[in-house]
Structures are given as C-alpha cells and as structure tokens.
Chain A
Amino acid sequence: MMKPSRFFKMSAMLAGVLAVGMNAAAARDLTVVSWGGNFQDAQRKIFFEPFSKILGKPVLDESWDGGIGVITAKVKAGAPNWDVVQVESEELALGCADGLYEKIDWDKMGGEDKFLPSAVNECGVGHIVWTTALSYDADKLKTAPTSWADFWDTEKFPGKRGFRRGPKYALEFALMADGVKAEEVYDVLGTPEGVDRAFKKLDELKPNIVWWESGAQPLQLLSSGEVVMTTAYNGRISGINKTEGKNFQVVWPGSIYAVDSWVVLKDAENKDAAMDFIAFTSQPENQVKLPEYIAYGLPNKEAAASVPAELKKDLPTSPENLEGAIPLDVDFWVDNAEALTQRFNAWLAQ
C-alpha cells in the first residue's frame, strides 16, 4: 500500500500532467477553412496574415472540398477542430437548420444593410459571389460559343465537353440548352416532367461529356485540348489567364451564380476570435483587395462599389454579367440533391 502523502503527490503530478495536456489542447489557434488553390493563397495574403498580426497569434488555415457530412461529423463529435469555415449556400442552409453553426452577431459585422441581401443569413456572412459558367479557350475556338445550345451543338463545335460530375448545374444547363428561359429553369425542374426533360437532353450529349470532379480539372482539360468547352468556376478562369497568360473566356448569359459564406461551427473554441475574423474580412477596405487576385464578386456593397473598373468587368456581380444569369436555387437542391444524385448515378451507369 502506498503511503497517503506519496499517493497524493503522485495524483497531484498526474493531475498536473493532465492539465498541461488539456491546456495544450485548449490553446489551439484560430483555424480558418477555405477551398484551397490560388483562391486560398489570395485569402492568406489579404485576410489570414494581416488578421494574425492584429490578433497577435497565429491563424491556422486548412482546406476542404465541401460536404455537410464533414461538418455534421465534426460538430456532433463535440469540440470541433475548425472554427471558421467557408461554406456553399446549401451547406449554409442545411447546417443552419440543423443547428451546426453559431448565430452571427450582425452588429459586429457592421449591420445587415451593408451587405447584398443574399449574403445575409442568421448563421453566415456572405464572403464571395461566384459563378459556374460555360468556358472555352479563345485561342483554339475561332467562332465563340454564346449559349448552352452551342455547348450541345457538336456539329458546329466538334470535340468533347467538360461537366462537373453530379446533377447540380448539369440539369439546369441542359434545360437552358433545350430552350427553357434562364429565369424559368427552376420552375420546370420543379416538376417530374422537367427532370425527365433535362435527363433526356443530357442523353444527347452524353457520349461527348468528360466529367470533372475538382475545380482545377476543367482548366487542365481546356489547356490540354482534351475538351473544347467546359463548365468552370469564373474565378479560376480569370486566375489562370493572369498567371499563365491563357485566353480562356467565360460566357455570362446562362451562368448560375451563388454565394459562399463564412460560418462559425457550433461550440467552436475560438468563437469570439472567429467572429472578429469574419468582421475583419467583411470590412470594405479589406474585401476590396480580393478581385486583384481572383475575380469573385464582393457581398459588401461599399467594397463592391470601390472595385476598379478594369477588374469589375470580370466579376459575376457586375450588371452586364448578371444579364441572363440566374442565382442557384438553394431550396431546390437542399430538397432534391439526394434523390437526384441517386438518379444521376443510375443514368451515368447505363
């Protein structure tokens, strides 16, 4: 039997070790999660590093590829190891309804009226406006395609087409190619006949489609000439034009834009610093620096107004680019993503 004094000493030591261990865990620095690539490089320069100086502590950054399951798993396990995450609009809607995010303190952000209405949510602050659009290499295509009907026209534009794998965007663009007006796409898609019609239109192009998965792939496919046209994210297109001197073009009419938002995970350790960070990125003088690096629209109205004209023409939010473009219908995809993906997989497998 151990002597009591020794026993106490030992347990005190053990407790000390445990406490140190837990302190080390508690001392995790603010962790921000975004989408990687040249976009996150720009964010690091404009937002993460300056904010780290203000905070006087390091800001860690990680990247992810989206998916509400990832966030659900982290929050449900308790003590998530991420604080701030940039999410797409469906993840914002799903996670907010499921109680996975902290509520936003909008006074801290400068007030809701400073932002575009679509960037304001009780769980998230809009960070960028981005577009999925028809893109092509203007050095290779002599006649420029102008619509989704051209995208489907394999006689006029022989060659393969790139598409993001999955029903999202593919069904919308198929309906537009079939003659549905952009603003009516989701009305048509809301009916079972509309979904059948979209799949039937996709059937026509199926042998010519190369399906891509990650945002960097369409650029590679266009560069190598593997495809003549592809759907792509507009920011990456203008990015590669700048960094590699390409002449890739974006067709704005018929494009679909969406808002990405910052959220703070429920019970995140650095919740206060996380809110401060979001406020920092939302200040007009900080946000306005982003279009220099990558052509995404800014949700802060004052920031959007002060972007230089030569950069503005590439942004999804500029009025001439918004003409004929539609916003992604978040509600539609939140309801139907699972059933339509199952059907899409079955369609692909045939």
Chain B
Amino acid sequence: MRIAAGKRLAAFCLVAPLVVFLVLFFVWPLATMMSNAVSSPGAVQALPQTGEVLADWDRTSPPTADMQAALVEDLRAIEDDQTVGDITRQLNSAKSGFRTLMAKTVSAVREDTGPIDLVAIDKRWSQVPFWQAIAAATASPYTDRNLLAAVDLARSPTGEIVSLPDTRSANLAILQRTFVIAAGTTLACMLIGYPYAMVAASCTGWKRQAMLAAVLLPLWTSLLVRTAAWFILLQDSGLINRMLQALGIIDTPLALLFNRTGVIIAMTHVLLPFMVLPIFSVLIAIPSNLMPAAASLGANPLRAFWRVLLPLSLRGVVSGSLLVFMTSIGYYITPALIGGPTDQMISSVIAFYATGTANWGMAGALGIVLLVATIALYVVYDRLSSSEGQRA
C-alpha cells in the first residue's frame, strides 16, 4: 500500500512542473480575463453610500440632493487615484462623458470640504443617464453589460435586453467574418498543402529535404516582415500585377490589396506549414506499395487516391485543418495591413479594448464569445469527423 502511494507521489512529482505551468500560464490568466468580463467590483466598493441611496431611486426621476451628497462623500473618501481611474473607466464605458466629468468633479471635491452642488460644477450632473450609469455600476459587483455588448445587445434603463442597431455595434458581423476568413484560409491551405505534401512524401533524399525546407523557411521570418512583403508584392504597381501586365494577361492591375483576396493569400502563405507538416507526417507512414496494389486491382489513379490514399491520410488533413483554423481565428496584423475595411477580424476589436482603452472587461467578454464559438465549432467538427471515422 505504502509503496503504491509513494509511486503515485513520485509520478505526481514528475508531472508537477507541467501542472504548475498549465495553471500559471493557461488556467489562471484565462480565468482572470473571464472574471474581468463579468465582475467589476470597483464602483460597489468605492461608492458605498451612493450605492445605498441609488438603490431606492426609480432610475427615471430627476437626481436628488441626497444622491449628490452621497456621491460627494464617497469621492472625498477615496484617496487613491488608481481607484478613481477604475471607476471612471467602468462608467465612461457605459456612458461617454464620465472621463472629463469625473476629473472635474474629483478635483473640485478635494479642494472644497463643505457641501457641494455638483450641478454647479458641471451641468451634466443634472442629467438622468449619468446617474443611471452609476446606479447600474453600484447595484452589483457583477455585470452582464460586457457580455451583452460583445454580442451587440444592451440593457435599456428599465432593465430589458434590447439589441443595438447595426449602425452602433457590429461585433457579431465581425465575428462571423472572422470565421469566414479562417475557413477560407483553411480551405486554401488544404488545396495547396495536400498536393505539396504528397509530392514531398514521394520524393527522397535532398529533394524531400529541399521541399520541406521551403515550407519551413517562412516560419523563421517574422510575421510582420512576411506581411509587409506581401503588401509590396500585391499592390497595383507591385511585382505580381506588373508581371501579369507584361505578359499581356491583364490590362488593368488586379485589385489584390485591401480586400479579402489579399488577406487570404497572405494568411495562406503564413499558415501553410501547419497544414503541410501534419499531412506529410501521415503520408510517409503509409506503405508505398498500397497505390500500386490498388492499381493492380484495376483502380485508375484518381480512384486509388480517392479510395485508398485520402481516407488513410485524412487524420493528417483533420489535424492540419484544425491547426490552421484555430491559428487564423486570432489573426490581427495581416488583415490590418493587407485587408480592406470589411476584412478586419475580431482580434483587432479585442486589441482596441485591451491596449487602446484599458477596458479589460470588454476585451474579456469578446474573448469569451470567441472562445465559446470556437469550442462549439470544434464540438460539431469532432462529431462529424468521428462519425465519418466509424463509417470508414
């Protein structure tokens, strides 16, 4: 008994570094970002009196003197600028204008220790929407505002969920576009990568090495450099258009830049290795005498490929496609530099919230939506591919 327990402990010690690594670099950050999306305790903690007074407010009648006095008291009690910053960011995200309003108010409140008429400091304090935002923020440390906004929804002042018009918010459209571009890239990688892997697997010696090196080489160059290179190649006066014009194939330059075509070309180039390598590793494990065997039984090459080689190598295609698809969902730089206005992917929106405005709640919420959508797609995909496997 003791020996078994000791062994188990030893085994656990061996995997402990992995567990620690996963928890530290995967589970913990993910959990933090997710909790950021739904919890924003800043206002509840920092504005306790205001929260109490606002709980009795009907959220539609004009703001009262009690509400003002409570807010002044609360703001006076905050000594740390970073706490003020947290609340302000949260409130400004719900209602534009809180940034300058809070800056003005906080400095006025700190200068004067007596009772203060907030409306005299800034007339925006007489407007109901600003108080509605504070009421919503102080009502509960948890919020569904970010998650709703991530899918183009919002709560009306009375609490019902309403959808935002598509002139105001387009996260769902951008998310859908992200999946379309990722699928397009995956398909293009498959169509180019499979024949390439087949040729590479059928070669031997230095030819195979050279073909694999040609696929791997781009991985050693920075993504930004490769994207910039495509920018130069694809532009109207770029190498591709000039060559096609010189050959007389086209008269006017093809529009390859600032549109979907350009994005998929560049992304396919960048991600091709992730498709070629898994397929290649499966193909070289398939005995080379299977194709001649099929031919000897009367199958033409196309039929032999369709019935023998493709089913046997499907595992490589599946894992390659997953790798390419999952990686391309997160693409940001390539669409930003090569794509047009309708090719921006969801990561650029996430990046705007994360680095541009420090609104980590929104960034986390969009991340959750992306994660859930991807997992859902993966589950569907897994079902489909496993049922196909059983049939074969």
User: Using a CB–CB distance below 8 Å, which chain A residues touch chain B?
Assistant: 67-70, 72-73, 75-76, 93-94, 97-100, 165, 206, 209-211, 213, 217, 220, 224-226, 331, 334-343, 345-350
Contact = CB atoms under 8 A, between A and B. Distances in A.
Contacts of A347: 167
Contacts of A220: 231
28 contacts: A67-B355, A68-B358, A69-B356, A69-B357, A69-B358, A73-B358, A75-B82, A76-B82, A93-B99, A97-B85, A97-B102, A98-B82, A98-B86, A98-B89, A100-B85, A165-B341, A220-B231, A226-B235, A334-B100, A335-B96, A335-B99, A336-B96, A336-B97, A338-B96, A342-B168, A345-B349, A346-B166, A348-B170
Nearest to B172: A349
B80 A99 contact: yes
A213 B336 contact: yes
B388 interface: no
A170 to B, nearest CB: 12
Given A76-B82, A99-B80, A70 B355 contact: yes
Given A99-B81, A100-B82, A345-B174, A350 B167 contact: yes
A194 to B, nearest CB: 14
A257 B342 CA distance: 30
A348 B342 contact: yes
Interface of B: 80-82, 84-86, 88-89, 92-93, 96-103, 106, 166-170, 173-174, 177, 231, 235-238, 257-258, 336-337, 340-342, 344, 349, 352-360
A48 to B, nearest CB: 24
Contact of A69 (B81, B238, B354): B354
A1 to B, nearest CB: 20
A210 B258 CA distance: 7
Contacts of B257: 226
A143 to B, nearest CB: 22
Contact of B84 (A97, A165, A343): A97
**Residue of B96, B349, B354 with most chain A CB atoms under a 10 A cut-off:** B96
Given A67-B355, A97-B102, A342 B169 contact: yes
**Residue of A76, A165, A341, A342 with most chain B CB atoms under a 10 A cut-off:** A342
B235 A97 contact: no
Contacts of A331: 99-100
Contacts of B340: 210-211
Given A213-B336, A335-B96, A335-B100, A346 B356 contact: no
B188 to A, nearest CB: 23
Contact of A224 (B173, B177, B237, B344): B237
**Residue of B98, B99, B169, B177 with most chain A CB atoms under a 10 A cut-off:** B99
Contacts of A75: 82
Given A99-B80, A99-B82, 17 more contacts: A69-B357, A73-B358, A165-B336, A210-B340, A211-B340, A213-B337, A217-B337, A224-B235, A336-B96, A343-B169, A345-B174, A345-B349, A346-B173, A347-B167, A348-B170, A348-B344, A350-B170
